[in-house]
Amino acid sequence: MKNVYIVMGVSGCGKSTIGKMLSKLLRVPFYDADDFHPQVNVDKMASGTPLQDEDRWPWLDSLALEIQQWSNDKGAVLACSALKESYRERLFSESAFAKAKQHFIYLNADFETISSRLASRKNHFFDPALLQSQFDTLEVPSYGIHIDVTLEKEVIINRVQQIIQL
């Protein structure tokens, strides 16, 4: 079983940027969980309607199947908001979740930092008006690697590299 690293946090925190850099460093594929959303979820978010748990369960279940396949292959890095503990648990089988906890990389940021980033982001379906709902939903994990997103991306990657001992 190979490691699947989950780069997590609210929209706009840098999950895709950091995830791509980490996947290059690890020489494993990068995936963005947003690419696995059904169109109905994308349309909801684009219209400013927050997703409910009922919207997320099928998406998380499909990601769980992908994660299982990636771990059987060569591993991967997945950028995924994974805002609630129940969402993170759903991504792995019960037996795999305990080990997987060490492979979560939480990109920590405050509302003002992310709001500023989202205001300058172009061509993304996420409506910035939904940011508060993401912070309201967020359950910060008590495990994994926690990194401040205000650091330079190279510093973030270096810290992750040191922690996972590459």
Taking only the tens place, the pLDDT of each residue in 32-73 is 999 999 999 988 888 878 888 999 999 999 999 999 999 999
Helices (H), 27-130: 39-46, 53-72, 85-90, 94-100, 111-120
Taking only the tens place, the pLDDT of each residue in 69-122 is 999 999 999 999 999 999 999 999 888 898 899 999 999 999 989 888 777 666
- Tokens for 110, please give them: 């405050």
- Tokens for 50, please give them: 């927050």
Binned at pLDDT 50, 70 and 90, residue 127 comes out as: low
At position 164, the amino acid (one-letter code) is I
User: Which of 134, 100, 140, 122 shows the shortest CA–CA distance to 10?
Assistant: 134
Cα dihedral sign, 26-156-124-32:
positive
Q: Would you call 123 exposed, middle or buried from its count of C-beta atoms within 10 A (0-12, 13-18, 19+)?
A: exposed
3-state secondary structure 17-55: HHHHHHHHHHCCCEEEHHHHCCHHHHHHHHCCCCCCHHH
Q: What's the predicted TM-score (pTM) here? A: 0.90
Q: What are phi and psi of 85, to 5 degrees?
A: -60, -40
Q: How far is CA 60 from CA 63, 73, 144, 163, 165, in A?
A: 5, 20, 19, 27, 29
User: Which of 88, 90, 107 shows the shortest CA–CA distance to 10?
Assistant: 107
Assign domain 4-164 one CATH number from 3.40.50.1100, 3.40.50.150, 3.40.50.300, 2.70.98.20: 3.40.50.300
